[in-house]
Amino acid sequence: CAVITAINNMLIDLMAAMSHKDWLSRRQRQKQGIERAHILGKYRGKQADQERHQKVLYYREVKKLSIRETAEATGYSTSQVCRIQAYHRDKLDFKSISNK
C-alpha cells in the first residue's frame, strides 16, 4: 500500500512539473508574440470601453452622483472611476456630455 502511494505521489509530482514547464513555455511564446507586435506597431493592448467611460463622466458631471454611486451604477470600482475622470479631465469638454 505504501509503495502504491509513493508511486501515485511521484506521478502527481511529474505531472505538476510537466504542467509548469508547459505553462512557462506558453508564457514565453506569448511574450515573444507581444514583442514582435510592438516592433511591427500592431500591439495596442486592451482598449478602454469608451461607452462606459462616457457613462462615468455623465453620472459624475451631469447627474452629480458621488464617486461611490457612479461606481455602483457603472460596475467600476471607486478607484477606476477616479482614474477615468483624471484621464478625461483635460481631453473632453464636459458640456458636450450633457447634450446626450
Q: Are 78 and 67 in contact (CB under 8 A)?
A: yes
Q: Are 59 and 70 in contact (CB under 8 A)?
A: yes
pTM of the model: 0.51
Q: Provide the domain count of the chain.
A: 2
Task: Please indicate, yes or no, whether residues 64 and 84 belong to a single structural domain of this protein.
Answer: yes
Rounded Cα distance, 74 and 76, in Å? 6
Task: Please indicate, yes or no, whether residues 14 and 38 belong to a single structural domain of this protein.
Answer: yes
Task: Please indicate, yes or no, whether residues 56 and 39 belong to a single structural domain of this protein.
Answer: no
Task: Please indicate, yes or no, whether residues 54 and 94 belong to a single structural domain of this protein.
Answer: yes
Q: What is the mean pLDDT of the chain?
A: 89
| pLDDT bracket for residue 99 (50, 70, 90) | low
Task: Please indicate, yes or no, whether residues 41 and 59 belong to a single structural domain of this protein.
Answer: no
Task: Please indicate, yes or no, whether residues 11 and 27 belong to a single structural domain of this protein.
Answer: yes
Task: Please indicate, yes or no, whether residues 54 and 39 belong to a single structural domain of this protein.
Answer: no
Task: Please indicate, yes or no, whether residues 41 and 3 belong to a single structural domain of this protein.
Answer: yes
Task: State the residue range of the domain holding 20.
Answer: 1-45
> Is 48 a residue whose pLDDT tops 90?
no
